[in-house]
Structure 1
Amino acid sequence: MPASARPQAQTMSTSAIPATTPAANETPDKYIVPGLERGLRLLGEFSSKDRTMSAAELARRLKVPRSTVFRLLATLEMLGFVERADGGRDFRLGMAVLRLGFEYLASLELTELGRPLLERLRDEIGYPTNLVVRDGRSIVYVAKAVSPRPFASSVNVGTRLPAHATVLGRVLLEDLPLAELRALYPEAQLEVFSDSTPRTADALFAIVQRDRERGYVLQEGFFESSISTIAAPVRDRTGKVVAALGATIPAAHIDPAHFDPDQLDAMVEKVRNTAGELSRLLDYRPSLHSAGKVVNLYRE
């Protein structure tokens, strides 16, 4: 997604541009632009834990001279990809990065197909609905349908949360064999966000396999004590889980005193059916991935 401003390009002969992609026997590094690579690596240093950083800190992390970092920051600041925090010497990501992220999300077939389904499900059940994908150990919200009724939730499109500590994340992890899950979470103890957070990769695996066999998750207060979530997997033509589709409900509302069990069952079924409908739009065919096929997820 283009930034709102672009530097003027210098005139260049077409002979300077490769007519084809690199041949198999050519070195890919030949086509890498070092300055662009350093600029992108610089942007990648910012995170939810490191929202602001100084030029000196960035130079230390990237192992490049401060003068190089100053030039990179000046260019990125001009284009809107970084900005000064509170007008000081530290920098943070700028709005151009956000625009880039939204353009990427908008380009995804998944979000284009999923958005109207989320809105329909939201209208049917009266609660917010979400679509998330996994990025390593995090889940990322890529689409959301907001409920008209007041609801205390801070998640928006682009919000990242820990996969192992969320219901939607559990759905996205359920296809991983035990060995891959252990590789993703090599630490002895997982970071704890609530009393429900699994403490180890093996405990997480046991939970997600039960989720997988059930075909959906309904959990009260797994990540936030006041929030309950119903979630189901979305699969593509390969049969792999590519997204999780969910509905967010105030925790108290799944209490039998507020909800008739049949009403709750109907809501779960609507979430599952919507996830199944999106899977079919992504060309998932259950018959091609279930008949006579046994997957050993416990392989080491």
Structure 2
Amino acid sequence: MSKSELPEEETQEKYLVPGLERGLRLLCEFSRQDKTLSAPELARRLDVPRSTVFRLLATLERMGFVERTDGGRDYRLGMSVLRLGFEYLASLELTEIGRPLLERLRDDIGYSCNLVVRDGRSIVYVAKSVTQTAFASHVNVGTRLPAHATVLGRVLLEDLSLPELRVLYPEEHLEVFSSNTPKTVVELFDMVQKDKERGYVLQEGFFETSISTIAAPVRDHSGNVVAAMGATIPSPHIETSQLDDIVRRVRETAGELSRLLDHAPEKSGAKVVNMWRE
């Protein structure tokens, strides 16, 4: 029997790479129901030695396909899974759905609006809608900025516990970009918890002294923050009479995008809090 006459399954089996297959099977074990899994549990599910699973996890973690959670004991999918099909996944779930909302929000408030996701310690701009003004932003789709030092980044860190933040930022002192940048993980955690309780962030000159930002979280079906929606105001101040309306519109638009991602929002009676002097 010639090679061309071999059964298709037998031909395919010859070219399989066992290590790659195991790695992909490991990634497929994560789901909506099993967002985090331990190495022993993965070894049991895959029916392979724990030492093999630890090697697979170490490789996938280094490449960003998985990341540690719960103090380092469990694992969850990392941002590299999203990047594998970024043009499709990000565009369909965030950019494609979010762009019309960004454009409407921009028209309603008269300021440029952005949508960002977090990749490790950085935020990544995945969509933006700009106004036709003299203000020229250096931020484009794909731009990366430090999460801990930006208003949008603070929104994206809301779901992390203090131990998880310590894993993400193991250094004693955080890199400072302005006088507003938190200098330690504890300071960052306290700041983010206040943001979470408030339901949005409103602050001037946090990353750049001449720019003010209003941001709100976008959540998925599980309630996790998957993106941050923000409005960029090219001024260190906004008229007090405008604040309530802009904050409301940003929060409502972020909430609308969340609902399109199957999130069931909780009722909230949070009031607008002026943070310009905090």
- The answer, yes or no, to whether TM exceeds 0.5 is yes
C-alpha distance in 2 between matches for 1:252 and 1:273? 24
Which residue of structure 2 aligns with residue 49 of structure 1? none
- Following TM superposition, by how much is the alpha carbon of 1:102 offset from its aligned partner in structure 2, in angstroms? 6.7
**Alignment partner of 2:124 out of 140, 157, 162:** 140
Give the letter for the 1:277 counterpart: E
Residues 25-104 of structure 1 correspond to what in structure 2 (within 5 A)? 25=47, 103-104=87-88
Asked if the contact 2:204–2:237 (Cα under 8 Å) also holds between the matched residues in 1, the reply is no
- Following TM superposition, by how much is the alpha carbon of 1:264 offset from its aligned partner in structure 2, in angstroms? 1.6
Which residue of structure 2 aligns with residue 53 of structure 1? none
- Following TM superposition, by how much is the alpha carbon of 1:226 offset from its aligned partner in structure 2, in angstroms? 1.2
C-alpha distance in 2 between matches for 1:133 and 1:16? 42
Q: Which runs of 4 or more aligned residues in structure 1 lie more than 2 Å from their structure 2 counterparts after TM superposition?
A: 13-27, 100-108
C-alpha distance in 2 between matches for 1:26 and 1:168? 41
Which residue of structure 1 aligns with residue 79 of structure 2? none
**Alignment partner of 2:249 out of 253, 270, 277:** 270
C-alpha distance in 1 between matches for 2:147 and 2:112? 20
Structure 1 spans left out of the alignment, 5+ residues: 1-10, 28-36, 45-99, 291-300
C-alpha distance in 2 between matches for 1:101 and 1:145? 23
Which residue of structure 1 aligns with residue 140 of structure 2? 156
- Following TM superposition, by how much is the alpha carbon of 1:135 offset from its aligned partner in structure 2, in angstroms? 0.5
What is the aligned length? 210
SS at match of 2:227: strand
**Alignment partner of 1:283 out of 262, 265, 268:** 262
- Following TM superposition, by how much is the alpha carbon of 1:112 offset from its aligned partner in structure 2, in angstroms? 1.5
Which residue of structure 1 aligns with residue 158 of structure 2? 174
C-alpha distance in 2 between matches for 1:246 and 1:201? 24
C-alpha distance in 1 between matches for 2:127 and 2:97? 10
C-alpha distance in 1 between matches for 2:95 and 2:253? 14
Alpha-carbon deviations, 1:92-127, whole Å to 9, x = none? xxxxxxxx9872565441222111100100111111
TM-score between both structures, scaled by the size of structure 2? 0.67
Give the letter for the 1:158 counterpart: G
- Following TM superposition, by how much is the alpha carbon of 1:252 offset from its aligned partner in structure 2, in angstroms? 3.3
Higher alpha-carbon Rg: 1
Which residue of structure 2 aligns with residue 47 of structure 1? none
Alpha-carbon deviations, 1:241-280, whole Å to 9, x = none? 11100000012342xxxx2x23221011000000010111
Alpha-carbon deviations, 1:27-77, whole Å to 9, x = none? 9xxxxxxxxx9xxx8xx9xxxxxxxxxxxxxxxxxxxxxxxxxxxxxxxxx
Q: Over aligned residue pairs, what C-alpha RMSD do you find?
A: 3.3
Alpha-carbon deviations, 1:162-213, whole Å to 9, x = none? 0000000000001111111111111000001111100000000011111111
C-alpha distance in 1 between matches for 2:152 and 2:200? 10
**Alignment partner of 2:12 out of 3, 17, 27:** 17
Asked if the contact 1:105–1:142 (Cα under 8 Å) also holds between the matched residues in 2, the reply is no
The verdict on how the C-alpha distance between 1:18 and 1:266 changes in structure 2, with shifts beyond 3 A counting, is: farther
The verdict on how the C-alpha distance between 1:277 and 1:25 changes in structure 2, with shifts beyond 3 A counting, is: same
C-alpha distance in 2 between matches for 1:275 and 1:200? 29
**Alignment partner of 1:120 out of 83, 91, 104:** 104
The verdict on how the C-alpha distance between 1:106 and 1:206 changes in structure 2, with shifts beyond 3 A counting, is: closer
Asked if the contact 1:230–1:248 (Cα under 8 Å) also holds between the matched residues in 2, the reply is yes
Give the letter for the 1:123 counterpart: D
C-alpha distance in 1 between matches for 2:229 and 2:217? 6
TM-score between both structures, scaled by the size of structure 1? 0.62
Give the letter for the 1:242 counterpart: V
- Following TM superposition, by how much is the alpha carbon of 1:26 offset from its aligned partner in structure 2, in angstroms? 7.1
Give the letter for the 1:17 counterpart: Q
C-alpha distance in 2 between matches for 1:228 and 1:263? 13
Which residue of structure 1 aligns with residue 55 of structure 2? none
The verdict on how the C-alpha distance between 1:101 and 1:125 changes in structure 2, with shifts beyond 3 A counting, is: farther
